[in-house]
Amino acid sequence: MEGDLGAGKTTFTKGLAEGLGVKRSVSSPTFTIIKEYEGELPLYHMDVYRLEYSDEDIGFDEYFNGNGISVVEWATFIEDYLPDERLNINISYIDEQSRELKFQAVGTHFEWVLNELKR
Ligand SMILES: Nc1ncnc2c1ncn2[C@@H]1O[C@H](COP(=O)(O)OP(=O)(O)O)[C@@H](O)[C@H]1O
Ligand SMILES: [Mg+2]
């Protein structure tokens, strides 16, 4: 996920968590980098803002190749570690009440996901 501070990345993740049936409340993982939640699928919520000038690998592969859904705020900061198949989401602020979301599928699986969303 990409989008300026305050664009709505964490808020979007809260909605995703709700859809997955996560009972705990989702809060920003800015200081912990990653938070894990249990839902119908595990949810791994990462905020890698603090890794902008670092090439630290906190074990991304295990999350990305695991059975859960990984959501990454400021994903371009860990571009080298991102999986080849993914859904890029760009959120921008329009006004206090509205946001624009752009979805870009990378790889055939997420092309399918996007088509399902459009139906
Ligand atoms: N789709 C939306 N519509 C209206 N307000 C939103 C929306 N998404 C987020 N907000 C508000 O914008 C503020 C910042 O959202 P947040 O999700 O923390 O942004 P980010 O994680 O991108 O920094 C919050 O006060 C939140 O309630
Ligand atoms: Mg956030």
Residue range 18-68, pLDDT digits in tens: 999 999 999 998 888 999 999 999 999 999 999 999 888 889 999 999 999
Distance from Cα 14 to the centre of ligand 1, integer Å: 10
Distance 84 CA to ligand 2 centre (A): 23
Q: Which structural domains are found in the chain, ordered by start?
A: 2-86 (3.40.50.300)
29 touches ligand 1 (CB under 6 Å): no
> Residues 74-87: what's their mean pLDDT?
95
Threshold 0.75, pTM exceeds:
yes
Q: What does each C-alpha distance from 35 to 24, 27, 28, 32, 44 come to in angstroms? A: 11, 9, 8, 7, 6
Ligand nearest to the CA of 48: 2
- Residue 106: per-residue pLDDT: 97
**Protein residue with its CA nearest to atom 5 in ligand 1:** 97
Average pLDDT on 71-83 reads 96
CA–CA separation, 51 and 8 (whole Å): 20
